[in-house]
Homo-oligomer: A and B are copies of this chain.
Amino acid sequence: MTTTEAGATAPSEDDGRETVTYGYHHHKSEHVKRLRRIEGQIRGLQRMVDEDVYCIDILTQVSASTKALQSFALQLLEEHLRHCVADAAVKGGAEIDAKVEEATKAIGRLLRT
């Protein structure tokens, strides 16, 4: 799927043809925009290194980029919990355990970086 749609007409979970779309689908263009800004920050870092900017100023910019990435991750995670995890809970059965374990592991990886 190469949908670039961001909202509005976004086919929802239950519309028939639809195969799978995850929670974050509804904010796709917002996410891509956010990631492009982060990409720009990383290119800015390359310029800073190239122009011999003072180390501490580079580190400050690294902190800003890391924070932006974490914040993107948090939004994605929130949508994941709201959709995928909640859906599994509603469906019942064993899936909720698997989903929760998977989400917790992902959070653990974020914490450890």
Contacts and interface: CB of A to CB of B under 8 A. Distances in A.
Contacts of A32: 46, 49-50
Stoichiometry, as copies per complex, reads 4
Interface residues of A, number: 73
Contact of A39 (B42, B50, B52): B42
Contacts of A69: 62, 65-66, 69
Interface string A2-16: 111000000011000
B66 A113 contact: yes
Given A21-B52, A113-B63, A113-B66, A74 B107 contact: yes
Is chain A's interface secondary structure helix, strand, loop, or mixed overall?
A: helix
Count chain B CB atoms within 10 A of each CB in A25, A52, A66, A81 and give the residue with the most: A52
A110 B70 CA distance: 11
A80 to B, nearest CB: 4
A35 B59 contact: no
A53 to B, nearest CB: 8
